[in-house]
Amino acid sequence: MGIIFIILNIITFIFSSITILIITFNWKSQHRSITNLLACNSSAALIFYVIAISIQIPFLFQTDQKQMNLTFCKIRAFIYVFACAVKSLSYLVQAISRWFITVHYKHRILLTFRTNMLIILTSWIIGLIASSCLLFSSKAYQYEPESGLCVLTSKVFLTSFIPVLIIFFIPANIIILLYGIILRHTVHIHRVHPNSFAKITNKRNIQVYRNILILLGIVIVSGTPYFLSVIINGITEGPWALYSIAVIFIGMAAAMESLAIFFTNDQVKKLFYKKISSHRTRKIAVVA
């Protein structure tokens, strides 16, 4: 599992860092947009997740877990859950913003940087509150031998069910709802205004629709195994492998999202390819 997490973390960190660096260094010239602001937020959440899981990876290679400091384990678990919460809520932030852009585009205040920054800040505060409240429980954060990590254990139903609702189940269902509203709005616009302008708008909305569908798939991949683990443990003892699968799928989803953010952002992707091609051209010129 340690090797798997290292590989997934490298992928997540590289593509998230590339996205943030390209947008940041070109923000004033051509990358100043709500879409890129949201991409930076999601990428920052992914880097935070990489840090949270990286401080746990060394302990996966330890043979003697009995000497583990329980307080330090609890802190690592808190950081990990906070990172997972922020990462999950970043999907919801993107869906809400795209809902504003697609459906409520006439309300200009909803399309401002201030409004979107407020939504982003709120998502981080919700994630912090949700993960901090669990610190008061002696059973919530603990070392899980099956996964080899300090996590919010799914073995205790009461302390794991409510957080998983806030972090995974509710955001996923809101994204599905917004996804349906955007789809309905897109179809309605296409029927009522079948002209060239409407077709351009419809094409843009379809791209938003595609991106939200990708996000929804990532959310489902990320949280479903852990959610099933919580439900199964509420009824009977869950299988040993399910705990490892739950945390690995969260890491897989993080890597998938970092790739999705990079490859669905045409501005970032084109500028990155341009930088690579220019670097190769200079290198060939020097050799010649």
20 band by pLDDT with thresholds 50, 70 and 90? very high
What CATH number does residue 189 fall under?
A: 1.20.1070.10
Higher pLDDT, 208 or 47: 47
Tens-place pLDDT, residues 109-167: 888 899 999 999 999 999 999 899 888 888 889 888 877 888 888 888 888 888 888 88
Q: Where are the beta strands (DSSP E) in the chain?
A: 141-144, 149-152
Contact assessment for residue 175 and residue 212, using Cβ atoms and an 8 Å cutoff:
yes
Tens-place pLDDT, residues 128-138: 998 998 888 88
Please choose, from the candidates 150, 160, 145, the residue with its C-alpha nearest in 3D space to the C-alpha of residue 80: 150
Q: Which amino acid is at 277?
A: S
Q: For the residues of 181-202, what is the DSSP string, one character each? A: HHHHHHHHHHHH--SHHHHHHH
Q: Which domain holds residue 12?
A: 2-287
Give the chain's domain count.
Answer: 1
Q: Which amino acid is at 236?
A: T
| Dist. CA 45–CA 52, nearest whole Å | 10
Tens-place pLDDT, residues 48-77: 999 999 988 887 776 555 666 778 888 999
pTM, rounded to two decimals: 0.86
Q: For the residues of 103-140, what is the DSSP string, one character each? A: H-TT-GGGGSHHHHHHHHHHHHHHHHHHHHHGGG-TTT
